[in-house]
Amino acid sequence: MSVEGKKRVVTTRSLYEMKQRGEKISMLTVYDYTMAHIMDTAGVDIMLVGDSAANIMAGHETTLPITLDQMIYHAQSVVRAVKNPLVLVDMPFGTYQGNSKEAVHSAIRLMKESEADAVKLEGGIEVIESVRRILSAGIPVMGHLGLTPQSILKFGTYSVRAKEEEEATRLLEDAHLLEEAGCFGIVLEKIPALLGKQVASELKIPIIGIGAGKDVDGQVLVSHDMLGLNQEFSPRFLRRYHNLFDEMQKAFRHYVKDVKSGDFPNEKEQY
Ligand code: KIV
């Protein structure tokens, strides 16, 4: 953000410095104003407006259907609430894989219309021209390797990636390529912990893991999963910090009961 006094505290530079001094980086997904406001007060370092909004907010089976306009809407809602964390926005499927000109156009729209701080996109060598072109426009880019949900139909499964040496070597090469291109960080999703550790120790930029073990520079989770709002998803890497599904269901049931019985509203709750 350019307006003096409204600058966010966490920047790509401060994230780099956190890695240098060994301070772990916390990142969570968020898609709306209210949740972003709560998260902002809790000291999260990076808020990711993830394309997982396609699953979490819209109920799609994959992240593929979400559009650039929809991502901009979610990012705008988050940015309005956020003071401290860096706001990172996923570039949705189909907006950067085709050609690098289209990629920079999509990234510029995201940044201009949402006032977010950075974009994230999935892939290594196959999207490197897009990464370079976006960076050359002055837009910070975070990479995403390992299990890349936008390619789920090609993988055919959500199982752990890069278990075999060949894929692990390719991932390592891609990580170096992204760093050399100028990415400020990389998300590693669902890969063996030893490989996560190797990438984090070979690269200078922060490596944020989701199912990539403890020896990376930071962690990211989907907020609805860690809050226990989504009960169907239970991968080994997920730690649930609450059971909000049950809590919310209890509150909704209580409300229905009170309305049906005539208990709500009472005399103090009317004009
Ligand atoms: O969209 C998303 O939620 C993500 C995380 C899984 C890192 O990209």
- Cβ of 122 less than 6 Å from ligand 1: no
- CATH number reported for the structural domain that contains residue 67 in this entry: 3.20.20.60
Confirm or reject: Cβ of 47 under 6 Å from ligand 1.
no
Closest C-alpha among 89, 83, 88, 75 to residue 40:
83
The verdict on the CB of residue 178 being under 6 Å from ligand 1 is no
Q: How many domains does the chain have?
A: 2
Same domain for 71 and 148, yes or no, is yes
Instruction: Identify whether 182 is part of a domain.
Output: yes
Report CA(9)–ligand 1 centroid distance (Å): 22
**Within a 10 A sphere around the Cβ of 41, how many other Cβ atoms?**
10
- Same domain (yes/no): 249, 227: no
Please check whether residues 256 and 140 belong to one and the same domain: no
Specify whether 92 is located in the same domain as 224.
yes
Q: Does residue 115 share a domain with residue 143?
A: yes
Establish if 5 belongs to a structural domain. no
Q: Which of 189, 232, 267, 269 is catalytic?
A: 189
Q: Is the CB of 186 under 6 A from ligand 1?
A: no
Q: Does some domain include residue 2?
A: no
Please indicate whether residue 179 is annotated as part of the active site: no
Looking at residue 192, its amino acid is P
- Are 116 and 197 part of one and the same domain? yes
Query: pLDDT of 34-79, one tens digit each?
Result: 999 999 999 999 999 999 999 999 999 999 999 999 999 999 999 9
Per-residue pLDDT tens digits for 191-214: 999 999 999 999 999 999 999 999
Asked if 115 and 56 sit in the same domain, the reply is yes
What's the pLDDT at 2?
Answer: 44
Domain interval for residue 97: 12-240
pLDDT above 90 (res 7): no
Q: How many other C-beta atoms can be found within 10 angstroms of the C-beta atom of residue 33?
A: 15
